[in-house]
């Protein structure tokens, strides 16, 4: 039987892939522009990092609701809403006269991005038969994985000749064209909407998610500046924000436990009863913290300490990101043959050695040492994330797969935001201490970056420890193969196949910066 897809299906998937590529590109496009933004808007590093942190936090809040949205309004309406939000946020960001309005535009942008990522995967699984799913998923994964890798390079080229506003202005006509073509393609293909009753969204859970995650990351971002030079200018003191965040998350957990008995929870916490899933969740979250911390630090260091231009910075960071994206499909095939542990543990060790080398290179190394270590860290992450994601989901019964996938996406985005905030907090604290001791601006920034990179090394040590807990060889990690909990649930629910989960899990690198 031929694996060729109908032309209308091919058009829909290509259009949605291009749309997802465009919106994901904007997750990292500002990383290289932070120094210019700081000068243009008269803000410091702790304020500038919220342009990335706010984007990721919005993803974390909105992603859990996307399953409800797609089931509620259908595929075409979800696409229309996603692109409308993205276009509105992009236009607002391009025209923003102040930092506050730029941050608001980024939040609106992120709301559209959060809808597009799961929408593409849902549409693919709806239109593509199982026999052709692996081939199609590989092509989609490659495109999505390369998008965040190209963000810093694209911004480097644009900023070499134009202002940061063109990072948004150049995207607008492309996104508008994709919207028009996509709506037409979805109408011609007649993508079916989900069957069954339309679910109800628990607004209280959404509110508690925003309060809990937002307050925790805000408090962490502000903590580094308190106690230095007479205090902090934060609207809400860091201890208060951290306490509110902890209380919000506690209430969120309580709310989900209640809804599990009386209705549909926003996130089903029963996924945490499965040991291998919990290990995968912890490992990928800590790895994301280290990754995003490094991504926010390197452009600042390369431009303000090493004196590289924005173009040179983008080109230096591009090989690492491309390496991670291009390895995604290949690592997925390796996972099908050897399982998670033989890939995750070496990947964790490579990440640790690379981050340690990156820290040393800020003291002694030439520019090419930074390049080699950055590529090494990307290889380590590529070896870890897809196997951990796929093996973790594979330990769940089928009825918990949507909740497990939603929780992975949500917690990873929050971890990435927390990693960004933690790195800037440590940088700010150390920079203030060195400046008070008489160091110049460049010397103080150099010391601050190095201190924050040491935090990344510590996080990598935690990743190595968690990697030793990963289990499962080829075909394992499915219910019944991940411990007693998995075996118990396997009796009640048919397990998803290794091929299905392996192919679905390969989209994980798309959320890497």
Sequence ranges of the domains in the chain? 1-200, 202-265, 271-513
pLDDT one-digit tens code per residue, 272-281:
888 888 998 9
The yes-or-no verdict on residue 476 having pLDDT over 80 is: no
Rounded Cα distance between 419 and 317, Å, is 19
Q: Long-range contacts: 35-40, Cβ < 8 Å, 24+?
A: 35/299, 35/300, 35/303, 35/304, 35/310, 36/159, 36/163, 36/164, 36/310, 37/102, 37/164, 40/163, 40/164
Give the number of other CB atoms < 10 A from CB of residue 39: 10
Q: What is the mean pLDDT of residues 143-164?
A: 75
Rounded Cα distance between 448 and 425, Å, is 9
Q: Which residues of 214-241 are buried (b: 16+ CB within 10 A; e: fewer)?
A: bbbbbbbbbbbbbebeeebebeeebeeb
Rounded Cα distance between 57 and 435, Å, is 31
Residue showing tokens 């996307």: 66
**What confidence score (pLDDT) does residue 106 get?**
93
Rounded Cα distance between 425 and 428, Å, is 5
| DSSP-derived secondary structure letter, 232 | -
**What confidence score (pLDDT) does residue 481 get?**
37
**What confidence score (pLDDT) does residue 141 get?**
59
**What confidence score (pLDDT) does residue 199 get?**
64
The topology (CATH level 3) of 271-513 is: Growth Hormone; Chain: A; (1.20.1250)
**What confidence score (pLDDT) does residue 491 get?**
38
How would residue 372 be classed by pLDDT, with cut points 50, 70 and 90?
very high
**What confidence score (pLDDT) does residue 198 get?**
64
Are 191 and 127 a contacting pair, CB within 8 Å? yes
pLDDT one-digit tens code per residue, 38-60:
888 888 777 787 887 788 778 77
Phi-psi group of 505: left, alpha or beta (phi > 0 → left; psi -120 to 50 → alpha; rest → beta): alpha
**3-class secondary structure, 506:** coil
Rounded Cα distance between 277 and 471, Å, is 10
Query: Which has the minimum average pLDDT: 145-159, 163-177, 254-268, 310-324?
Result: 145-159
Query: Which has the minimum average pLDDT: 79-83, 204-208, 251-255, 343-347?
Result: 204-208
Are 99 and 47 a contacting pair, CB within 8 Å? yes
The yes-or-no verdict on residue 225 having pLDDT over 80 is: no
How would residue 146 be classed by pLDDT, with cut points 50, 70 and 90?
low
> Quick one: the chain helix, strand, coil %, rounded to 5?
80, 0, 20
**What confidence score (pLDDT) does residue 131 get?**
59
Residue showing tokens 């011609």: 188
**What confidence score (pLDDT) does residue 235 get?**
67
Q: Bigger pLDDT: 179 or 200? A: 179
How would residue 463 be classed by pLDDT, with cut points 50, 70 and 90?
very high
The yes-or-no verdict on residue 498 having pLDDT over 80 is: no
Q: What is the mean pLDDT of residues 491-504?
A: 39
pLDDT one-digit tens code per residue, 418-429:
787 788 888 888
How would residue 238 be classed by pLDDT, with cut points 50, 70 and 90?
confident
**What confidence score (pLDDT) does residue 130 get?**
57
Q: What is the mean pLDDT of residues 349-365?
A: 89
Rounded Cα distance between 15 and 155, Å, is 23
Token couple for 91: 């236009």
How would residue 487 be classed by pLDDT, with cut points 50, 70 and 90?
very low
**What confidence score (pLDDT) does residue 340 get?**
81
| DSSP-derived secondary structure letter, 2 | -
Q: What is the mean pLDDT of residues 361-390?
A: 84
Residue 294, H or E segment = helix 275-304
How would residue 105 be classed by pLDDT, with cut points 50, 70 and 90?
very high
> What are residue 421's phi and psi, to 5 degrees?
-65, -45
Q: Bigger pLDDT: 513 or 353? A: 353
Q: Do 1-200 and 271-513 share a fold?
A: yes
The topology (CATH level 3) of 1-200 is: Growth Hormone; Chain: A; (1.20.1250)
pTM higher than 0.75: no
**What confidence score (pLDDT) does residue 136 get?**
63
Mean pLDDT highest for which of 105-114, 218-227, 293-302, 487-496? 105-114
Rounded Cα distance between 305 and 163, Å, is 21
The yes-or-no verdict on residue 228 having pLDDT over 70 is: no
Are 67 and 117 a contacting pair, CB within 8 Å? no
**What confidence score (pLDDT) does residue 490 get?**
39
The yes-or-no verdict on residue 444 having pLDDT over 80 is: yes
């Amino acid at each position: 039987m031929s694996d060729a897809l109908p032309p209308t299906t091919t058009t829909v998937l290509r259009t949605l892939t291009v749309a997802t590529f465009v919106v994901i590109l904007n997750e990292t496009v500002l990383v290289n522009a932070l120094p210019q933004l700081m000068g243009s808007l008269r803000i410091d590093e702790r304020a500038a990092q919220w342009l990335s942190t706010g984007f990721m936090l919005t993803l974390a809040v909105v992603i859990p609701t996307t399953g409800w949205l797609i089931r509620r309004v259908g595929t075409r309406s979800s696409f229309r809403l996603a692109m409308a939000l993205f276009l509105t946020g992009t236009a607002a960001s391009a025209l923003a006269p102040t930092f506050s309005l730029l941050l608001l535009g980024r939040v609106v942008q992120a709301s559209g991005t959060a809808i597009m990522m799961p929408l593409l995967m849902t549409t693919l699984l709806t239109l593509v038969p199982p026999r052709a799913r692996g081939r199609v998923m590989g092509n989609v994964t490659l495109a999505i994985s390369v998008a965040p890798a190209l963000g810093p390079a694209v911004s480097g080229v644009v900023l070499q000749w134009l202002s940061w506003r063109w990072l948004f202005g150049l995207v607008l006509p492309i996104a508008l064209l994709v919207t028009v073509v996509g709506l037409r393609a979805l109408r011609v293909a007649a993508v079916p909407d989900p069957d069954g009753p339309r679910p109800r969204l628990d607004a209280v859970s959404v509110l508690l998610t925003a309060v809990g995650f937002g307050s925790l990351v805000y408090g962490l971002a502000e903590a580094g500046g308190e106690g230095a030079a007479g205090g902090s200018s934060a609207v809400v003191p860091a201890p208060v924000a951290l306490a509110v965040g902890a209380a919000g998350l506690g209430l969120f957990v309580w709310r989900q436990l209640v809804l599990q008995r009386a209705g549909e929870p926003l996130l089903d916490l029963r996924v945490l009863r499965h040991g291998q899933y919990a290990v995968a969740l912890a490992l990928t979250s800590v790895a994301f913290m280290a990754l995003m911390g490094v991504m926010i630090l390197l452009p600042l260091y390369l431009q303000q300490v090493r004196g590289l231009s924005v173009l040179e910075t983008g080109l230096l960071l591009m090989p690492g990101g491309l390496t991670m994206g291009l390895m995604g499909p290949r690592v997925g095939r390796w996972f099908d043959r050897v399982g998670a542990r033989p890939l995750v543990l070496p990947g964790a060790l490579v990440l640790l050695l690379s981050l340690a080398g990156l820290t040393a290179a800020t003291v002694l190394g030439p520019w090419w040492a930074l390049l080699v270590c950055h590529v090494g860290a990307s290889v380590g992450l590529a070896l870890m994330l897809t196997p951990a994601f796929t093996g973790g989901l594979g330990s769940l019964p089928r009825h918990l797969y949507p909740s497990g996938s939603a929780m992975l996406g949500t917690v990873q985005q929050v971890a990435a935001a927390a990693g960004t905030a933690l790195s800037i907090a440590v940088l700010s604290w150390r920079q203030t201490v060195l400046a008070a001791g008489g160091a110049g601006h460049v010397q103080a920034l150099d010391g601050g970056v190095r201190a924050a990179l040491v935090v990344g090394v510590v996080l990598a040590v935690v990743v190595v420890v968690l990697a030793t807990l990963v289990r499962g060889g080829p075909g394992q990690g499915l219910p019944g193969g991940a411990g007693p909990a998995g075996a118990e649930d396997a009796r009640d629910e048919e397990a998803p196949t290794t091929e299905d989960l392996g192919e679905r899990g390969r989209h994980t690198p798309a959320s890497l910066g």
